[in-house]
Chain A
Amino acid sequence: MKAITKFTLALTLAAGVGSAAYANEAAIKARQGQMELYAHYLGLLGGMAKGAVPYDADKAGAAAASLASLTKLDSSRLWPEGSDDMSAEGTRALPAIWDNPDDVMKKAMALGEAAAGMEMAAGQSLESLQGAMGPLGGACGACHKAYRAPDS
């Protein structure tokens, strides 16, 4: 009887740990997908800023609006505890993210503001789009610098 209880307990725990790991793996994939989407819309805006793609106010405005919506996703679903690079595979997210929630929130707000700034600017003129790239890059970089492990 005792042995069976122990066995059941062990099984339940293992299943619990297993499903948490599975949930975290899904969250890591999802937030990396979010980053890919950022890069996808930035590709058009940056291409215009660099002069590699002709400027088109409507397309720029639409890309910037999509970018701004991406900053509004519920991040608690994307960044669960235990999905840092010490606990999980396939991520460069440093554990410090979960140790400094206030700073992370501040940086996330800054990204939201920079994306809103781009949303305002992108459809106006090429010059205003170019001017909004810097703050946007700064906001992305601020978080990556503090909370992402170096490549390789």
Chain B
Amino acid sequence: MYRAARYFVFLIILAGAVFWWITAPKRVSETDIAGLTGDAVRGETVFWAGGCAACHSAPGAEGDARLVLSGGRGFASDFGTFHAPNISPDPTHGIGGWQAVDLVNAMRHGTAPDGSHYYPAFPYTSYARADLQDMVDLWAFLQTLPASDLPDTAHEVGFPFSIRRLLGGWKFLFSGPDQVVTADLPPEAARGRALVEGLGHCGECHSPRNALGGIDYARWLGGAPNPAGRGTIPNITPGKLTWSEPDLVEYFTSGFTPDYDSAGGEMAEVVQNLAKLPVEDRRAIAAYLKAVPAVE
């Protein structure tokens, strides 16, 4: 009896240790990025490819106001409403006190400077696939943007999702592969893969998710319900997407659909970002979308 109890206690401690180990925040070290120098000009392209302004600018911001990353937009989901934080260079309310390594940790591991886990509403599941050089360049660009002293709004997330440590388990289960489409692709489509699966984070909205919010990689880009409620987000695999590559490039450039309606909803915001990329990148995204496995 005594032995059994001791064994039981041992098992609990072991389970606790495994939990603690699995849910521990991951980080890169200073030495991992020691050789990298950020280039703010390249960083601007990373910024538009990553669509940072779409979530982190003020609600309704247009034109140059989209470069003020004061945060404040709300994002409804099955788990609660998340509010984009201030990531402008303000030292108190923004990320002015950060170092490059802090941004790298946020994007690659979803880990905050204090070691807590970010919610995956911040699409680090995708951003993790970007190059360290891209992140360091982005850091250089972010520092050139105007500061805002708008305080952050707390997320409205219920128990048990409010326990941030559990997000370590979420990351363990749902981080996803380094590459979603593993086939050999021609150079243009391969560049598109890096953009779509990484910085562009297209799969975050265009792929269905399981009950715990993990992306269903078997139905990658196969469409999903709109987490904000109304309508659905379309399947953009060859199973449903009938637009030609030039149609797609035009859509990413001007927002015009093949029947000359204009992009709506969140996608209008995405087009504003894509339009700022070199046309070669927009062509690359179109080429990749034609190469992904069809989801019916």
Contacts and interface: CB of A to CB of B under 8 A. Distances in A.
Interface residues of B, number: 25
Contact of A141 (B231, B246, B247, B271): B271
Contact of A42 (B256, B263, B269): B256
B247 A137 contact: no
A108 to B, nearest CB: 15
Nearest to A49: B250
Given A46-B260, A50-B247, A150-B265, A134 B275 contact: yes
Residue with the greatest number of chain B CB neighbours at <10 A, chosen from A134, A137, A144, A152 = A137
A109 B269 CA distance: 21
Contacts, number: 66
A138 B271 CA distance: 9
A43 B250 contact: no
Interface residues of A, number: 24
Given A46-B250, A136-B254, A150-B265, A38 B260 contact: yes
A46 B258 CA distance: 8
B255 A137 contact: yes
A145 B269 CA distance: 8
A39 interface: yes
A136 B263 CA distance: 13
Contact of B256 (A137, A145, A146, A152): A137
Interface of B: 60, 62, 230-231, 244, 246-247, 249-250, 253-256, 259-265, 268-269, 271-272, 275
7 contacts: A43-B259, A50-B247, A137-B255, A140-B255, A141-B255, A141-B272, A151-B264
